[in-house]
A and B are shown apart, each in its own frame.
Chain A
Amino acid sequence: LAKTTQPISMDSYEGQEVNITCSHNNIATNDYITWYQQFPSQGPRFIIQGYKTKVTNEVASLFIPADRKSSTLSLPRVSLSDTAVYYCLVGDLPGSARQLTFGSGTQLTVLP
């Protein structure tokens, strides 16, 4: 079961690009990397998922180096509403409960 390590917290200002890096040194060959966002008193929300190189969707980009031992979630031009906890998870595709082990997450605070 691959363990993930993220910074506990990060501060940014509105309009800036934010990069949150997650370390997962023991990632297995079959593991995917998934990022979730959680606001207070709400369930986590899926942001992006990838296996290697780069994945981009309408809200974020995910950069994964060749060795896959880390990944970086990139949020372009953050706003105050992006203040939340961001979790990086590593595991099999949906269908395996082992994917769902949450680390401590990163509290992102966006300042005006």
Chain B
Amino acid sequence: GAVVSQHPSRVICKSGTSVKIECRSLDFQATTMFWYRQFPKQSLMLMATSNEGSKATYEQGVEKDKFLINHASLTLSTLTVTSAHPEDSSFYICSASPSQWGNYGYTFGSGTRLTVV
């Protein structure tokens, strides 16, 4: 089945540094990928829509200069958390769909646990 690979699964960084998270579609091409953030005991919050070859679309309240998204190929989208602070500590998840018109739902990555110290 369709697989979305996300790396790293866990990362600890110092406050003020930047962290890059990768999201890859392993066996399908994804012109669109999505990035979510999930705080403990809460639901997933859509942060942005990543579009291959064009600028990402950010949800209201999400700082585009802080959460840089690059979707340079049909199988890879990256999320860079710049100048990370402790309040950015969260569980980040990406997703993509193996079919734009099929009813297969979306496939999610395994998530990245970011801890900023």
Using a CB–CB cutoff of 8 Å, the interface residues on chain A facing chain B are 32, 34, 36, 41-46, 49, 87, 93-95, 97, 99-105
Q: How many residues on the B side are at the interface (Cβ–Cβ under 8 A)?
A: 31
Interface string of B88-101 (1 = CB under 8 A from A): 00010111011111
- B74-117 residues at the A interface, CB under 8 angstroms: 91, 93-95, 97-111, 113
Contact B43–A43 (Cβ < 8 Å): no
Residues of B within 8 A of A103 (CB): 43
Please give me the residue from chain A that is nearest to B107 by CB atom. Answer: A46
In angstroms, Cα B93 to Cα A45, docked, is 12
Which interface residue of B6, B95, B101 has the most chain A CB atoms within 10 A?
A: B95
Contact B105–A36 (Cβ < 8 Å): yes
Of the candidates A41, A43, A100, the one whose C-beta lies within 8 Å of that of B109 is A43
Please tell me if B11 contacts chain A, counting CB pairs below 8 Å: no
Please tell me if B67 contacts chain A, counting CB pairs below 8 Å: no
Say whether, besides A87-B43, A97-B32, A105-B43, A43 and B103 are in contact (CB < 8 Å). no
